[in-house]
Amino acid sequence: MKDSKTFEFAKKHREDVIDTLQLRLKERRVLYALLLILCVTFAYENSNLLLSYVVGSAHPVPELGERRKPQLKADMLKRLDRALAETSEDYPQYWAVFSENQKLLGEAAGMLAEEGGADSARDRVARVVVSMKEFAAHPIIKPAKNLEKLSAEMASLQRVLKLNADVAESELKPLLFVRESAVGGAQSKRNLFEYSLR
């Protein structure tokens, strides 16, 4: 006779089977999350290489610590020109100073419209700011509302464009009422007390 051996199988309850399936589902989710993190890390570490393939090698990638130089815009010039024109109405006797600065602003606007003229326009604006700061700091000039508005506009330009226009240490210059004319400088000097028969 054959010996019949009975094997006892471990009995699993329904709850154990469900727990095992849920555990496998959680493990799969964790695996997918880890694979996603690995892909994102790989893309971040090799972003320059991937960007050069996608965009092209000629595309400039800004390096860490580099900042774009602040740009002069046309609306900044318009606001400064308007404030300059309003201030010139309060000081008509100094029309020469204001007209010279308005001429510089007009040149700056023309250069800004041209390609590659931004640096020259910025230099002209810096000259205007220095000139008008000297004008506003002069002890003869009485403060007015429009002059304060002009000073605020110049301070805004200095802050945005990082212009250096300190006039505290500079010596006081005389304020001109008229432009210097080349014709007046070329005239010969006459002495009224010297008489000649020629």
Q: What residues does each domain of the chain span?
A: 14-54, 74-178
59 pLDDT more than 90: no
80 or 14, greater pLDDT: 80
Measure CA 167 to chain center. Answer: 23
In which band, very low, low, confident or very high, does the pLDDT at 188 lie, cut at 50, 70 and 90? Answer: low
Q: How far apart are CA 165 and CA 129, in angstroms?
A: 7
> What is the reported pLDDT for 37?
95
Q: How far apart are CA 152 and CA 82, in angstroms?
A: 13
Tokens describing residue 129: 């700011």
Q: pLDDT tens digits, residue range 68-111?
A: 677 778 888 888 889 888 888 888 888 888 888 889 888 888 88
> What is the reported pLDDT for 16?
73
> What is the reported pLDDT for 197?
47
Q: pLDDT tens digits, residue range 115-171?
A: 777 888 888 888 888 888 888 888 888 888 888 888 888 888 888 877 776 655 545
pTM score of the predicted model? 0.51
18 pLDDT more than 60: yes
Can you list the positions of beta strands (E) in 23-152? none
Helix axes 47-54, 14-45, angle to 10 degrees: 70
> What is the reported pLDDT for 35?
96
Contact between 154 and 106 (Cβ < 8 Å): no
38 pLDDT more than 90: yes
Can you list the positions of beta strands (E) in 13-100? none
Tokens describing residue 44: 């971040």
189 or 171, greater pLDDT: 189
Provide CB contacts within 8 A for 126, sequence distance 6+. 163, 164, 165
Q: Is the dihedral of CA 86, 89, 94, 97 positive or negative?
A: positive
Q: How far apart are CA 43 and CA 36, in angstroms?
A: 11
57 or 92, greater pLDDT: 92
Contact between 137 and 115 (Cβ < 8 Å): no
Tokens describing residue 161: 């464009």
Q: How far apart are CA 125 and CA 142, in angstroms?
A: 24
Contact between 107 and 101 (Cβ < 8 Å): no
In which band, very low, low, confident or very high, does the pLDDT at 56 lie, cut at 50, 70 and 90? Answer: low
The Cβ-side half-sphere exposure at 190, using a 13 Å CA radius, reads 5
